[in-house]
Chains A and B, each alone.
Chain A
Amino acid sequence: MEEVIVSIRGAEKTYGKQIVLKDISLDIKRGEIFGLLGPSGAGKTTLVKLLVGLDTPTSGETYLFGQRMPCLKLAGRIGYMAQSDALYTELSSRENLEFFASLYGLKGGQRRRRIEEVAELVGLSSSMDKIVAQFSGGMKRRLSLAAALLHEPELLILDEPTVGIDPVLRQQIWSAFYQLQQQGTSLIVTTHVMDEAEKCSRLALLRDGSMIAAGTPEELKRETASNTMEEAFLYYGGARP
Chain B
Amino acid sequence: MRIAALVLRILRQFIRDKRTMALMLAAPLLILTLVDLVFNGENYVPNIGLVSIPTTIEDKMLKEGAHIQKYGSEKDAVNDLEQQNLDGYLLFQPGRSGKLVLEGSDPAINGVVMKWSQDALKPLQPSNIKQKLKIAYFHGKEELRQFDYFGPVLLGFFAFFFVFLVAGISFLRERTTGTLGRLMASPLRRWEIVAGYVIGFGIFTMLQAVIIALYAIYVLDMAMYGAFGYVLLITLLLSLSALTLGILLSAFAQNEFQMMQFIPIVIVPQLFFSGLFNLETISEWLRWIGLATPLYYGAEALRDVMVRGNGWDEIYGDILILAGFSALFISLNIIALKKYRKA
Contacts and interface: CB of A to CB of B under 8 A. Distances in A.
Interface of A: 52-54, 56, 70-72, 75-76, 78, 80, 82-91, 95, 98-100, 102-105, 131, 147
B240 to A, nearest CB: 23
Nearest to B2: A103
B182 A80 contact: yes
Contacts of A80: 181-182, 185
7 contacts: A80-B185, A84-B181, A85-B178, A86-B178, A88-B179, A103-B188, A104-B186
Given A86-B179, A99-B8, 14 more contacts: A54-B184, A70-B342, A71-B343, A72-B341, A80-B181, A83-B178, A84-B177, A84-B178, A86-B181, A86-B182, A88-B13, A90-B13, A95-B12, A102-B5
B187 A76 contact: yes
Contacts of B179: 86-88
B197 to A, nearest CB: 14
B231 to A, nearest CB: 31
B134 interface: no
A56 B189 CA distance: 18
Contacts of A85: 177-178
A53 B187 CA distance: 11
Contacts of A90: 12-13, 16-17
A63 to B, nearest CB: 14
User: By DSSP majority rule, is chain A's interface helix, strand, loop, or mixed?
Assistant: loop
Contacts of B187: 72, 75-76, 103-105
A53 B17 contact: no
Interface in B166-196: 177-179, 181-189
Contacts of A75: 185-187
Please indicate which of the listed interface residues B1, B17, B185 has the most CB atoms of chain A within 10 Å of its own CB. Answer: B185
B199 to A, nearest CB: 14
A105 B2 contact: yes
Interface in B1-57: 1-2, 4-6, 8-9, 12-13, 16-17
B175 to A, nearest CB: 11
B9 A88 contact: yes
Contacts of B2: 102-103, 105
A147 B5 contact: no
